Amino acid sequence: MRCHADTDTVDFVIVGTGAGGGTLAARLAEQGFSVVALDAGPFFRPLLDFASDETAQNQLFWTDKRVSSGTNPIKMGGNNSGKAVGGSTVHFAMVSLRFRPEWFKSRSILGYGADWPLDWAEMWHYYSMAEQALAIAGPIHYPWGPKRPRYPYRAHELNAAAKLLARGCEALGYRWSETPLATVSAPRGKSPPCVYRGFCRFGCSTNAKQSALTVWIPRALKAGAEIRDLAMAGRIDVDHQGCATGVHYVREGQWRFQNARNVIVCGYAIETPRLLLNSETACFPDGLANSSGLVGRYLMTQANQAAWGRMEDEVRWYKGPPSLALTEHWNYEDRGKDFFGGYCWMGQGPLPIEWVSVQTSARGLWGPALRTEMMDYNHQIGVKMVGEMLPNEDNRVTLDDDTDQYGLPIPRITYEWSENDKRLINHALNQMTMSLAAIGATRIFPQDDDTNHLAGTARMGFNRETSVVNSDCRSWDIPNLWICDGSVFPTTGGVNPALTIQALALRTADRIKHLAARREL
């Protein structure tokens, strides 16, 4: 690995190496820029470091101190944030979906949320690039949305849970599909094909998963980027002309400063605004890039409610990646809805400890009742939604008085579901329950409190008054400060976000190249 001294002024220092940061590190280095990418988490070697143990793999999650408040506080941790080189993609579920094109203009076309300053057709191009890079294994024909090129790898074999999802959809008259997944169904480079052991959300120990850690980081290293792990950025410095000069970070107990011509923040929807807010100066008393006052605002999570049931036959839902099949019916069907937005639902395969926590939290089971219920583990079946929650200014990340292990003020997260969100969730719970009933599942129960992916808090937009960054992910206020991760989403759509983040990062890298060529960096 090429290494830089802190005193070297590198072209780009990137904070965070997940879906956004990892992709940018690779693409910018490949374009010839000097790049140092910092990540607060360790650089894991999955073949050596990953245990087949749910508890041990908590090492992947961001479990630093955070305050979660509001009417519907978001449960933080493994279900929404990672801390590792590769970011949350190290333990993400690999579902790689494209936005419905209309969502890029949901305000003007669908009447809710906000428009993105991007054209869907252009994004379609970058989605294809991302899918190729990640060797997505997907169906030959994806039933929803405009035509897309063939996925580079074939879809995986459906497990029993996925086949049951398909039967449920067929019973309701909805289309279903194999889920496009970022895990290979045939060998690829050093990745062996998936072995269907279902540990995906606890880190894939075979490297079949095509995460930022296995795809972008190796590319970044090859192109000469430096990946500095266990390096927590605490503050971005800005000179008196209002330009970023580099990043203060702590590594091995020491605060250091990396000089850079450009800073790109890719810490995801909680840590990105936190870093910007923690970097306030006399010139920027409300934090960096925050003249609009919107840094930290419009936080969105996605509804992740589920319906669970029991089948007479054994299902063994833990086999294989959890979400092998899905339906996007309610993302593309606008009729018959009493809410804005969309949702999809997909197959599930929680591992035992996760399943215990569903039983204890959603049903309050304990003791012998819990034990009896767990005996049925191999017969359980379930579907889980990924639902669009609407952007709301008051759902936000602010700084708390408390500090973390680095002495940095911790984030306070405030969240409340809107009436629209609740209607969407109810609709989905009804539909999912019906789909389970239709295949003869018994003892069906809803899990109505779960949320997962995050977005917002540094939204992109058309002008400096109503957004934090422009369509190039460049902050309106500080020309050499960029933000490129899930936090720039103006709306979150009804699909998992990682592919969109990576497509966005690919576009941003191209835009940076273009701007550099025109000396506009």
Partner 1 sequence: MTKDADNRSAAPPISGGAIPEASNIARAPSRPATDRVYERSAHDLHAAAGLIALSVLLDSAVEHYRGSYHNKAMFTPLVTATITLTATAHGLRAPAGLGHAGRRGIFVLAVATGAVGTGFHVYDILAKPGGISWQNLFYAAPLGAPSALIVSGLAGFLAEHIRATPPDESARVFGHSVSRSAALGSALALVGTSAEAALLHFRGAFQNPAMFFPVTLPPVAAGLLGFAGLRPAVGAYPVTQACLTATAAIGLAGTGFHAYGVARAMGGWRNWHQNLLDGPPIPTPPSFAALALAGRAALRLLAHDASRAGHTPARAVPP
Ligand X SMILES: Cc1cc2nc3c(=O)[nH]c(=O)nc-3n(C[C@H](O)[C@H](O)[C@H](O)COP(=O)(O)OP(=O)(O)OC[C@H]3O[C@@H](n4cnc5c(N)ncnc54)[C@H](O)[C@@H]3O)c2cc1C
Residues at the contact surface with ligand X, assessed by CB under 6 A = 15-21, 38-41, 78-84, 87-89, 91-95, 201, 232-233, 266-268, 271, 275, 453, 485-486, 496-499, 501
Considering the complex, state which of residue 379 and residue 467 has its C-beta at the smaller distance from ligand X. Answer: 467
**For residue 31, which phi and psi values (nearest 5 degrees)?**
-85, 0
Each residue 6-45 as x (binds partner 1 by CB under 8 A) or -, in order, gives ----------------------------------------
Considering the complex, state which of residue 163 and residue 513 has its C-beta at the smaller distance from partner 1. Answer: 163
Cβ atoms of 190 and 217 within 8 Å: the answer is no
232 binds, among ligand SF4, ligand X, partner 1, none (CB under 5 to 8 A by kind): ligand X
Shortest distance, position 189 Cβ to ligand X, whole Å? 21
Tokens of 113: 């949320």
Shortest distance, position 352 Cβ to ligand X, whole Å? 16
Choices 189-197, 339-347, 380-388, 394-402 (CB under 8 A): range interacting with partner 1: 189-197
Tokens of 323: 């979400």
Neighbour count for residue 399 (Cβ, 10 Å): 19
Shortest distance, position 475 Cβ to partner 1, whole Å? 40
Considering the complex, state which of residue 197 and residue 261 has its C-beta at the smaller distance from partner 1. Answer: 197
- Residue 213 found at the interface with partner 1 (CB under 8 A): no
Tokens of 448: 């109505």
From 450, 468, 466, 448, select the one nearest 458 (Cα to Cα). 468
- Residue 328 found at the interface with partner 1 (CB under 8 A): no
497 binds, among partner 1, ligand SF4, ligand X, none (CB under 5 to 8 A by kind): ligand X
- Residue 237 found at the interface with partner 1 (CB under 8 A): no
Considering the complex, state which of residue 32 and residue 192 has its C-beta at the smaller distance from ligand SF4. Answer: 192
Tokens of 373: 């219920």
Cβ atoms of 15 and 21 within 8 Å: the answer is yes
- Residue 131 found at the interface with partner 1 (CB under 8 A): no
Shortest distance, position 202 Cβ to ligand SF4, whole Å? 8
Residues near ligand SF4 (CB under 6 A):
183, 194-200, 204, 206, 208-209, 320-321
# residues near partner 1 by CB under 8 A: 24
The angle, 0 to 180 degrees and rounded to 10, between the axes of the packed helices 120-133 and 498-517 is: 110
167 binds, among ligand X, ligand SF4, partner 1, none (CB under 5 to 8 A by kind): partner 1
Shortest distance, position 197 Cβ to ligand SF4, whole Å? 4
- HSE-up (13 A, CA, CB side) for residue 502: 35
40 binds, among partner 1, ligand SF4, ligand X, none (CB under 5 to 8 A by kind): ligand X
Choices 179-187, 286-294, 297-305, 489-497 (CB under 8 A): range interacting with partner 1: 179-187
Give the whole-angstrom CA distance, residue 493 versus residue 118. 15
Give the whole-angstrom CA distance, residue 411 versus residue 396. 10
Give the whole-angstrom CA distance, residue 3 versus residue 387. 42
- Residue 158 found at the interface with partner 1 (CB under 8 A): yes
From 135, 139, 131, 145, select the one nearest 177 (Cα to Cα). 139
From 302, 301, 316, 304, select the one nearest 383 (Cα to Cα). 304
Give the whole-angstrom CA distance, residue 271 versus residue 267. 5
Write the CA distances from 258 to 11, 253, 354, integer angstroms. Answer: 11, 16, 40
- Residue 186 found at the interface with partner 1 (CB under 8 A): yes
- Burial string for 210-229 (b: 16+ CB within 10 Å, else e) reads bbbbbbbbbbbbebebbbbb
Cβ atoms of 208 and 191 within 8 Å: the answer is yes
21 binds, among ligand X, ligand SF4, partner 1, none (CB under 5 to 8 A by kind): ligand X
- Give residue 488's identity as a one-letter amino acid code: V
**For residue 20, which phi and psi values (nearest 5 degrees)?**
-80, -55
Give the whole-angstrom CA distance, residue 413 versus residue 299. 9
Considering the complex, state which of residue 213 and residue 311 has its C-beta at the smaller distance from ligand X. Answer: 213
Shortest distance, position 367 Cβ to ligand X, whole Å? 29
Considering the complex, state which of residue 163 and residue 248 has its C-beta at the smaller distance from partner 1. Answer: 163
Enumerate binding residues for partner 1 (CB under 8 A).
135, 139-140, 152-155, 157-158, 163, 166-167, 170, 176, 178, 185-188, 192-193, 195, 206, 208
